[in-house]
Amino acid sequence: MGGQGKTDEALGQLRQAADLQQNVACRLELAGMLHQSGKDREAVVEYRRALVIRPLSVEVLNNLAWILATSPDDSVRNGSDAVGFAEKACQQTQNQDAMTLGTLAAAYAEAGRFSDAVATADKAASLAAAAGNSRFATINTQLMQLYRSGKPYHEKASASRKP
């Protein structure tokens, strides 16, 4: 059995565990694995199920918003939903978390709100730099340039993505 067979087997086991245990950790792991495997539609379903269990989970809100904003699959992306989930995540962190702000910027861009996307990416980059996370600061600065040109960020389509 190749790598894809082992991934499919692991996904099946995670699905069973998530359905039996009804806990957020299993749903998060399953959704993350689905996203990495390029199965964004299924990942969105699992993140939405996790929100039923824990509606104010920053991690769930942020990850769901990211996929809805950046999926390579046009039919998965939904800018207005992404903005709603990302704004909730940012509220939970008092707008002081670079990662959730970076997601909100991507969501704004997907929703066509490019000036909001630029300002939010700038704040995410500043917070990341202040925290010593130069890699994340650089990423947000690069994304800010994309948003300035009136373009949203979409992940590349592949059978197996790395976050």
Q: pLDDT digits over 55-109, tens only? A: 999 999 999 999 999 999 999 999 999 999 999 999 999 999 999 999 999 999 9
Tokens encoding 27:
């749903």
Tally of structural domains, the chain: 2
Query: Measured at the alpha carbon of residue 80, what is the angle toward residues 79 and 83, in degrees to the nearest 5?
Result: 85
Helical axes 114-130 vs 98-110, angle rounded to 10°? 160
Look at residue 163 in the predicted model and tell me its pLDDT. 39
Q: Tell which of 13, 38, 55 closes a domain.
A: 55
Q: What is the mean pLDDT of residues 5-9?
A: 63
Question: Tens digit of pLDDT for each residue in 34-62?
Answer: 999 999 999 999 999 999 989 999 999 99
**Statement: residue 162 has pLDDT above 50:** no
Q: What radius of gyration, in Å, describes the C-alpha atoms of the chain?
A: 16
Establish if 1 belongs to a structural domain. yes
Q: Tell which of 10, 31, 55 closes a domain.
A: 55
